[in-house]
Every structure is written in structure tokens, then in C-alpha cells.
Amino acid sequence: MDCPGCARTIETAVRQISGVTDARVLFSSEKLVVSASQDVRNAVEQAVRKAGFELTASSASSVTPAARPGWQQNRMLLLLALLVLLSSVLGQFAPAWGDRLFVLTTLIGLAPVARGAWQRLRSGSPFTIETLMTLASAGALIIGAHAEAAVVLLLFQLGEQLEGYAAARARSGVTRLMALRPESAIRLQQGQRTEVPLAALRPGDRIEVAAGSRLPVDGRLISPLASFDESALTGESLPVTRASGETIPAGATSVDRQVELEVVSEPGESAIDRILQLIEEAETHRAPVERFIDQFSRLYTPLVMLLSLLVMVVPPLLGAGDWQPWIYKGLTLLLIGCPCALVISTPAAITSGLAAAARQGALIKGGAALERLSSLRKVAFDKTGTLTPGKPQLTQILRFGAASEAEMLALSAAAEQGATHPLASAIVAAAQARHLPMPDARDQQVLAGRGIRARVAEQQIELLTPAHAPGLTAQQRRQIAQQEEEGNTLVVLMRDGEALGALALRDRLRSDAVAAIQGLNRLGIESLMLTGDNPRAAATLARELGIDYRASLLPADKVSAIRELSQQQPLAMVGDGINDAPAMKAATLGIAMGSGTDVALEAADAALTRNQLTQLAPMIALARRTRRIIRQNIGIALGLKAIFLVTTLLGLTGLWLAVLADSGATALVTANALRLLRHRD
């Protein structure tokens, strides 16, 4: 399958089967996905074979068949090249015999092409390159252009091989990713080492990975310190040292020693599997320009065939010349009607762009997301877990009454036990670090955007934001304001309605946050911080970053702000938590941090898999470069068609030059798209 046109032929054939509701070919991984109301596997296999393609059942343990030797893949090309050469040489000494050999060469080359055209016609795809080549070559034979007919078929075979090579290069990123996953693993069970397929592994199993071998699944390191090469997944060139208890992704290579790990991923749910699933999902979200080109190409070929027929018939009937020259021009126009260069111009660029992004630590969910990414003019960031690590620390305890700091911290930690908010985790961690006893809490109630309430030792304990804490004196509010101006987030502790004091916590900026904002500035993109934190703490962080901010926002307020800003200019929302998902959905584009929750990753249109904000600007720059290359490719494809349309009507272009121009245009737009694979940060 060398171009999206082939994929469309397969989809058309399969969709005609009774019971099939949808069929989609994933060009990057050469997979056919069929939705049906009944078991149609046999019918699908027959339909695909009738269309002239082979179908192989895939499984998690399937092995890619070895590639055939080059001479076997190019047998027809080599045979036609030899016959054309012999025909040309023979024609120098015996023109009649040379001409007969050209006819034989044409018939040999035409046979598989005509068979392919017939198969596609029966499958519901009459307007294909095979149909055009069959008509043009047969017509050339009829009017006596035997040498040109043979050369046209030779150049067609050459173009097909170039397209195949280009398609393989475009898929190379996905192919290399699939190759990272071994087919089996060594499982340790009751002192025995057993080689088992990946499908047999379950979370909790223990496996052994030899030095220099790749991890077959995500695993938790049991062995002491070990170094792993994770470059294939993260792009980091240096080995990473991991300690016992750390999770290592599938596809990483144990660099220096044999290691033992505990399996933590279900079959088909490892880091590599998730990336491959996202890439396949991305193909279902096509860019608007890609959909337009696909629809245009469906009309382009039949229109050119109609124009070709008119060129053959109308001028001779009007007395504008003999039949043969106009038939020849019409046949040449048929070859210009091949839409391959146009059809592949956009998918090749998008596939290469997505592969380059994945290699650099960014997953983009399809061409539609890539196109929106290229148009961004503003980026809004969540604060906690995005601009900051999301690991605040207790910096100070303010006492308003007689309760000691230890008592206040113990009561606060008791109320926060089990809560998932980063501030709650920080309070519990601080109490544990001081070895404070934490009484049991019951009737815990999260107060959205305000705090938490619980019963602790028959007392009602509340931890509230200062704005929602009742009864604070002017002096207490001044103390809180002073801490907030220093960048702290304050939580007021209430016991039975009385303010005992406040806990000051602070989350530092991520080490790469400033560099990330500077990278966006260089692209002319504005940045904005959206946070539920207090305005004073938010202002301190915003000053360090040099960006605007909006503070004291509830999740619903973030959504409203995003909708308002998105109406002004294309806007991305970057976040990592469950509460960020609605805002990410409301934005022009949602971007999730790689360490984010599953909900955030699901809501996002793109993800920074290395969990590095500095990958954001290169991802946008790559999207913009992809957009430029798409425009270049469309210009090349349509420009060459227009030039050869004019030169053909003027009688300046022959059959062989037309097919060479078409193959050349296809190779040119593909090579232009493949430049994206060399894109660097």
C-alpha cells in the first residue's frame, strides 16, 4: 500500500460488504479497522484480495515477515527495463523487429496493470491510476506509439517503486516504535526461568531482562540501581539511572546489568502500546485541508478523463486537425489525470510531522490537531502541576489562638487524609515527617473551590481558603496577605467555627518554566496563567515568568475564561489534572502534561510525553513547518499538473514525459514531506 489512494480503494471495497458499518485504513501502520454488526472476517479478506491487496491477520505476538530481496520486489521493473533496452538496440538495426519487441514489452507490462484496474473496478473504484495507465497504454498501442507505450509502463513501474520506498520512509517512525517491543519475556516463577509470550504476562509477575535487552512491558525495578537507555521513547541520549521501586517503560534498554522487574502493565497497555494507540487514533482525526484534498481528488480524475475524451473527439470533428495527434494529446492528458501526487501531498507531510513530534517528546492526536496547533496565538497554563511541579511544601504555620503548631498540623492532616489535592498531600506529608499522631476522621466533605470539612475527635474541622473563612479579624487578614505576597498559598484551619490559624504552603516554579515561556515568546505567542490560587500568590509567580494571570478561578470559571479568550484568537490550554479537562476541551487545542491524569490525557489533543514544558515551543514550531510543507506540496502537485496540461494541449509534451512528470511530482512532494523527519528542536 503505497499511497492514501490505495487505502481509499480498500475502504471502498470493504464498505460494500453487507453488515459493515465502517471501514478505515490506518496508512501509517498499514492496518484495516472494520466496524460490523456481524462476523465478516472472511468476506473482508475476500474483498481486499479482489481489490488487489493482501490482508494478514495481526496479533500482539505477530512477527513482521522478512522483506523480500530487492530483485524480487523489482522483477517487473527490471524485466521492462531490459526489454526496453533490447527493443531500442534492436530497432537501430532492424526497425520492424524493434517495433514488434516494443509491442511485446508493452503487453507484458500492461498485463498486471490491466488486471489491477479490473480488480479495482469490480471493487467499486473505477477511477484509479491503474485505469488511467491501462487506457493510455492501450490507446498508444492502437495509434502506433509502441515505443512510448512501453516507456510509459516502465516509468510507471519506476514511480510505483519510488512511492513504495517513500511510504516506507514515512512509516519508519511507527515501524521503529513497534520494533522496540520484544515478542517474549523471561518470567521468574518458583525459581524457574520460563520464556513466555507477552500476552501471558500479568501485573505482579516477575521478569528478568538481560543486559543490552529491551523491556517487553512496563515494570517496577526490583534490582538495586541500574542504568536504562530510554532514548527511543523520550529522545534523551544519555542513560538514566533508576533506583529500586521506580517504574521503567517498555522499550527501554538495560544498559549495564541483568535486572529483575515486577510487571505493572496489562497486555496491550504498556507505554509503547499507548503511544501506538494514540498514533492510530490520530489518523481518524484528519485535518480539514486533508479532507478537502481527498474530496477534490475524487472529482479530479473523472473530470480529467472527460476532458481527455473531449480533446480526442471535439477538435477533429470541428476540423481542427487529424484524429491521431488529438488522440495522442488526449492520451497524454489521461496520465496527467493521475491524482497520486495531490493525494499523498498532505498525508505524507502530516504523517512525517506526527512521527517527528513523537520522537521529540510530543504526541499530537491527528492532522486536525496539528493544523490547529500551527495556528495558535496564545497559550493558557494551569498553575499546579503544570507551571509548578504540583508538590507544594509547608513553609509556615500561623497561630491565631492557643492551639499549638503540632495540634493544628495534626488536625489538618487528619481532615485531609485520603484527599488527592496537592495541598492535602503536602499537609499530610508534613505531619508524617514530624511523626505526629493523626486521629481518625469521618464525614469528609470536599467543598469545591473552598476547601474540605470533616469530623475529627467529635470536632468539626474545616480547612478553607481565606476568602471563604468567616470571622477573620483585620490583623489576621493582614498576616495572611503578607504570606500571600511572598508567593504562599494559605489554608485557614477552623475548629467548630473558630479560626485556629493558617497553614502557608508554597509550590516552586518548574525548572523549565521560564525557558518554556521564553521559547513561546520567540514564536510570537502570548502566555497566560489560570489558577484557583489567591491573586497575591499568583501575581508572584506571574512576575517571575513575565506573563499575565487570572486568579481565584473555580473549574467553571476557567472554562468561561477559555471560551472568552478563544473567541479572540486561537488558544491552547495546558494542564495535567481532572479539573483541567473541561477547560482543555473548551480551548482551540488542549495540551496535557505527560504526568497528567488519564482524564486530562483523554481530553487533550496533544501531550508532552517527556513531561517537559520546553517541548511546547518546538512542537508548535514543527506544526507550523508542517503547515508550510503541506502548502508547498499542494502548490507543487497542482502547479506541475497545470504546466503539463498547457504543454500537452500545445503539443509540447509526450506520453513518457507526462508519466515521468507525474511520478516525479509524487516523489518530489514525498521527499519534501520527509524533510520533517529531520526536524530538530
Catalytic residues: 382
Q: How buried is residue 674: exposed, middle or buried, by Cβ count under 10 Å (0-12/13-18/19+)? A: buried
Gap between the Cα atoms of 514 and 510, Å rounded = 8
The answer to whether residues 47 and 19 touch, using CB atoms and an 8 Å cutoff, is: no
Output the nine-digit C-alpha cell for 378: 496564545
**How would you classify residue 425: left for phi > 0, otherwise alpha for psi between -120 and 50, otherwise beta?**
alpha
**Distances from the Cα of 171 to the Cαs of 167, 323, 670, in angstroms?**
6, 46, 12
Handedness of CA 356, 359, 361, 364 (dihedral sign): positive
**Cell digits of residue 483:** 504570606
Instruction: Give the separation between CA 460 and CA 457, rounded to whole angstroms.
Output: 8
Residue 253: beta bridge partners? 214, 229
d(CA 217, CA 255): 16
For residue 349 the three cell numbers come to 507531510
Mapping DSSP onto H, E and C, the string for 235-303 reads CCCCCEEECCCCEECCCCEECCCCEEEEECCCCCCCHHHHHHHHHHHHCCCCCHHHHHHHHHHHHHHHH
Burial environment of residue 37 by CB neighbours within 10 A (0 to 12, 13 to 18, 19 or more): exposed
**Helices 288-317 & 616-649 angle (0-180, nearest 10):** 0
Retrieve residue 137's grid coordinates.
497504454
Cell numbers that stand for 492 in this block: 485557614
Cβ atoms 184, 172 nearer than 8 A? no
Distance CA 674, CA 399 (A): 64
**DSSP secondary structure of 406-471:** HHHHHHHHHHHTT--SHHHHHHHHHHHHTT-----EEEEEEETTTEEEEEETTEEEEEE-GGG-TT
- Taking CA atoms, 497 is separated from 455, 463, 470, in Å, by 13, 11, 8
> Which triple of cell numbers denotes residue 385?
502541576
Cα first-last separation, the chain: 32
Sequence-separated (6 or more) residues with CB below 8 Å from residue 146: 99, 102, 103, 106, 140
Question: In 10 A of CB 168, how many CB atoms?
Answer: 13
